Amino acid sequence: MLINLFILFNFVPYDYPYSMNIKTLVLLSILISGISINANASDTLVFEHELIFQSSLEESVYKSVLAGEESRYFDAFYVLTDSSDINIESAKKALVNQIRSVKPNKKEAKFVKNVYSSLHERFFRKYVEKVFFDEVFSSGYYNCVSACAIYGLAFQELDIPFAIKETPTHVYIVAYPDSHQILIETTDPVGGYASFSSAFKQTYVETLFELKLIDASDMAMGVNALFDKHYFNDSNLGLKELVAIQYYNQGIFLAEKEKFYESYQAFSKAYVLYPSEHIINSLTASLVNELISSNFEEDYHITLLSKLPRHKTKDLGNEEILGEFSRITEKYLIDRNETEKYESVYNDLLIGFKDSTLISDMKFYYNYERARLLYNKGRYVHALPFAEEAFAIKEKNADAETLLISTYMNYLSRSKNTEKALVRLEGYMSRFSGLKENNHVNTAWLNLNLMAMEKAFTEKNETGGKSYKSNFEQAVSENEIADYDDFLVGRAYSAAAVFYFKKGYYKSANTYLKKGLEYSPRNQELKSRQYMLNRN
């Protein structure tokens, strides 16, 4: 069960401030380069149509951003809280006016510094870890994500090339990433602007060498090439990815309050925009934790369970997923006997699951448990189809074979239609070749042929009687340890003898009695009829 996989997350949002010394920058570069996404790139954990939005406005803005409409980025950052079109337009106007108030400068580095200073002074009053973009305009509170958004929107407005860089717990922005590489450290109002000088690059590379992260052969690449390779070694992110990171932060804040379902929705929106390792891991974590805490009373928990196989890892496989289905079985089938609800949940999961092995295992479990419950209630006719299906899925499963045979035997003992029961058994033997090695099955088949033989001759069906007799005798001749009911032998062969006796075929009647005694030498019914026939 998933309880054994409870994920205790150190949920860390993207807003952890740090000191920008060279050693830190080197270590952050290492952390970034070490990131690898756990999920298979070909796997899709969340589809766009599955996303749930807080408002129609959020949905409209999100889909616009997903479609690449750059004009909606501001709106996308703003709509995570209870926003309105009026609030958004007012805030957007304030930002645009401030951006346009910055005097142009022919020197790119000087111009970027002016933009940085103007925006920081106008909008940023206090660094606060857990805030969203709209609070920049209402209170002046900001974190690294909202600050990056402000600078990114400004640079976009001013056609200044930029790239957003990501560390495991932080984002920052670089202007002119392919030339001047001007760092904007959003959490540092004093030293947050940095244009990388030749001296800085030289010191950085020397630090790499001192830490033995590069060797003498690497130095041949030159300082600039080594700096670019190791400092800016991660892919450049844009505003779309930053929107995803803000959703990620929202998910983190919700998860800290143990609102895992809501955090899953936030992580889902982040994932569709930017399926990074942090987002994938947190998406899986919120899903698992929500399922662990659920009692499957809500329909959305079934929907979540249907998505769980998408998140398979070495610690989260079919066994854990089936464990959750067993909890559903215990709740709805065994504890409550709500078979319609249980069947509905089962069918919903079948639609959601794609893994053929998982589907097969769940089908087996479902049908086996349905059959077992009905069997225990003595409802053998209703239990048979489920027992048949379970055994069809796993013919080598001893429990499934026992359940099928036991259910059939109890059904047989109450059946009033011998021919129908025999046809059913022969269907099993034809469909499941392994049943021919089961003595219980063979005995039942022999006995059913004897019962059908008796019925046929009693009803004056000579052809049918002979056919059932032939089946029985051939099977016995081929099986040295054939087991059958002596009483049924007496009834079947006596019925045949009576049939021929009434027709005046005394010799044939006697032949049937003798044959019956070969199979049941001590059968009193056959002996008595033979005695009376001989006397007459």
The CB density around residue 234, as the number of other CB atoms within 10 Å, is: 16
Q: For the chain, how many helices (H) and strands (E)?
A: 24, 6
Query: pLDDT in tens for each of the 536 residues of the chain?
Result: 554 444 444 455 555 443 334 444 444 344 334 333 344 434 799 999 999 999 999 999 999 999 999 999 999 999 987 666 668 999 999 999 999 999 988 899 999 999 999 999 999 999 998 899 999 999 999 999 999 999 999 999 999 999 998 876 788 899 998 888 888 876 654 444 444 557 657 877 887 787 777 888 888 888 877 766 666 555 689 999 999 999 999 998 999 899 999 999 999 999 999 998 889 988 999 999 999 989 999 999 999 999 999 998 877 889 999 999 999 999 999 999 999 999 999 999 999 898 999 999 999 999 999 999 999 999 999 999 999 999 999 999 999 999 999 999 999 988 889 999 999 999 999 999 888 888 999 999 999 999 999 999 999 999 999 999 999 999 999 887 779 999 999 999 999 999 999 999 999 999 999 999 999 999 999 999 999 988 87
pLDDT at residue 83 in the model: 64
| C-alpha 299, offset from chain centre | 16
Q: Is the dihedral of CA 205, 209, 211, 214 positive or negative?
A: positive
d(CA 482, CA 472): 10
306 and 345 Cβ atoms separated by less than 8 Å: no
155 and 95 Cβ atoms separated by less than 8 Å: no
pLDDT at residue 25 in the model: 40
Domains annotated for the chain, with CATH where assigned, are 2-30+51-243 (no CATH), 294-393 (no CATH), 415-536 (1.25.40)
pLDDT at residue 170 in the model: 80
Which of helix, strand or coil describes residue 167?
A: strand
d(CA 13, CA 251): 9
What number of residues does the chain have? 536
Q: What's the angle, vertex CA 474, arms to CA 469 and CA 480, rounded to 5?
A: 125
Q: Left (φ > 0), alpha (ψ -120 to 50) or beta: where does 319 sit?
A: alpha
pTM assigned to the model:
0.75
Map 508-520 to HEC letters: HHHHHHHHHHHHC
pLDDT at residue 308 in the model: 92
* Cα dist from 245 to 280, 284, 429, 459, 478, whole Å: 12, 16, 60, 82, 75
| C-alpha 172, offset from chain centre | 35
pLDDT at residue 106 in the model: 84
162 and 174 Cβ atoms separated by less than 8 Å: yes
The CB density around residue 244, as the number of other CB atoms within 10 Å, is: 23
Tokens of 112: 């970027």
pLDDT at residue 209 in the model: 81
Contacts of 48 (CB under 8 A, 6+ apart): 63, 66, 272
Contacts of 117 (CB under 8 A, 6+ apart): 193
Element (H, E) at 182: strand 182-184
Tokens of 488: 């049924």
* Cα dist from 354 to 40, 309, 346, whole Å: 16, 8, 14
Q: Is the dihedral of CA 57, 60, 63, 65 positive or negative?
A: negative
pLDDT at residue 452 in the model: 94
Residue ranges of the alpha helices (H) in 432-485?
Answer: 439-458, 462-478
d(CA 355, CA 362): 11
pLDDT at residue 30 in the model: 40
Contacts of 156 (CB under 8 A, 6+ apart): 70, 73, 162, 239
